Chains A and B, each alone.
Chain A
Amino acid sequence: MKAYITAAVVSLIGLADAIYLTIEHVTGQSVRCTIVAGCSEVLSSPYAVVAGVPLALVGAGAYFGVFSLATLAASGYRIAGTLLTVLVLLMFLVSLWLFYLQAFVIHAFCQFCLLSAAVTTALTVIVLIGVILARKPR
């Protein structure tokens, strides 16, 4: 229960971050070079778009999904808890892939993308702790 509430709150950080990145992408701001290194290179790379959709928008949808499922799970919807675990693990795998792309393919890190990776990692830890605690006999 507590793990789900924590996951819902943490997902809001990821949601805000992903919305910001989406707007940067859509308005073209991300393409210009700024004093902050990395985001221009990362967000203007071909990996920032999947089938014509900005990856940040997909991320925003995923974080909204996490918030919704965590809220429902905290309210006793058991299926939501299962779906939340699956979604968060999937997001974690995608984050690992994106981290690899930034480090070894694009050779630039965008701090907003790193924040998203940190949020997803935190969500994974929270959800896994929740699963372990739920299985422990009381």
Chain B
Amino acid sequence: MKRLLPFILILLVLGAALGSAWYMTRSASNQNAPATATPVANGQEQQPAPLTGVPGAEPAYTLGPSTAPAKLEEFGDYQCPPCGLFHPILKQMHQEFGDKLYITFREFPLTPAHQHALAAASAAEAAGLQGKYWEMHDRLYEHQKDWSDQFDVRPIFEGYATDLGLDMNKYKRDVASEVVAQRIFLDGKRGHSLGVKGTPTVFLNGREVPFQSLPAETLRVLIQKEIDNGGK
């Protein structure tokens, strides 16, 4: 028996390792359960109840008509690389689906993990106060690599604001204003109420889209499904 003991211990640890790996994979899959459609016996599709959460900053920055059957809400961080990769996908979806898709972007700067994320969100919000939110939003994502590793991003963002033709005195006041801080805070509060823990987190008609479904080809299918269902 004593001779067998080390082998029994090794087998026990192997079993525990495989068991915990299986359990963790299963939990992660359940967390990421597809937001849409689980087929049920009668052929109908059963969907989890849409989440509502607390309101974010109002008015939110949106694209498309609010009456569109598919409503997509993204919680993003301008310094997060996957958000930067998702940016052109969202633009593509906006172009493809036009007035059938309503897009809302919510600020979710992951501070202190991303040291410039809050400054970037403030820059976008300050531009928004002059009607140039989406222009600044695009510029921040498209040039993410240019400023992410810089020590001082303020002059870079001011350069973008100048390029966009903003009133620079107002921009500089707004960037540090209570209004902008409050908007970012409210978007964050909404994100937390919806269980957002990372970025990009995307909701489609109130149901979270699994991270693995964010590539254009899978997201397109999910949006089309919502449109076909009339946004129910």
Residues in A lying within 8 Å of B, measured CB to CB: 12, 15-16, 19-20, 22-23, 26-29, 31-38, 40-41, 44, 60, 64, 67-68, 71-72, 74-75, 77, 107
Return the chain A residue nearest B85 by Cβ. Answer: A31
Chain B: interface residue total (CB-CB under 8 A): 32
Are A75 and B5 interface neighbours, CB within 8 A? yes
Q: Give the complex CA separation of A37 and B10 in angstroms.
A: 35
B81 near A40 with CB under 8 A, answer: yes
Smallest beta-carbon distance B201→chain A, Å: 8
Set A31, A37, A64: member contacting B17, Cβ < 8 A: A64
A29: min CB distance to chain B, Å: 6
- Nearest chain B CB to A16's CB is how many angstroms away? 8
User: In the assembly, what is the distance between CA of A44 and CA of B199, in Å?
Assistant: 14
A19 to B28, CA, bound (A): 13
B81 CB contact (under 8 Å) in A19, A37, A41: A41
Is A32 touching B82 in the complex (CB atoms < 8 A)?
yes
CB distance from B180 to the nearest CB of A (A): 21
Q: Known A-B contacts: A32-B198, A32-B200. Give 12 more (CB < 8 A).
A: A16-B20, A19-B17, A23-B25, A27-B28, A33-B110, A33-B113, A33-B200, A37-B112, A38-B113, A41-B81, A44-B81, A67-B10
A38 CB to nearest B CB, Å: 8
Residues from chain B with Cβ under 8 Å of A35 in the complex? 110, 113, 197-198
Residue B92 lies at the interface, judged by CB distance under 8 Å to chain A: no
- Identify the closest chain B residue to A108 (Cβ): B113
Contact mask for chain B residues 1-25; partner A; CB cutoff 8 A; 1 contact, 0 none:
0010110011001100100110011
Q: How far in angstroms is the closest Cβ of chain A from B150?
A: 13
Pairwise interchain contact A67-B13, C-beta atoms closer than 8 A: yes
Does residue B212 face the partner (Cβ distance < 8 Å to A)?
Answer: yes
Partner of A75, one of B6, B17, B197, B201: B6
Which residue of B13, B80, B113, B212 is within 8 Å of A28 (Cβ)? Answer: B212
Q: How far is the CA of A122 from the CA of B6 in the complex (A)?
A: 22
Contact status B10-A68, CB under 8 Å: yes
A8 CB to closest chain B CB (Å) equals 8
Q: Which 5 A-B pairs have the closest CB atoms?
A: A37-B113, A33-B80, A27-B28, A32-B198, A34-B198
Judge if B77 is at the interface, Cβ distance under 8 Å.
yes
Q: Which residues of A contact B200 (CB under 8 A)?
A: 32-33
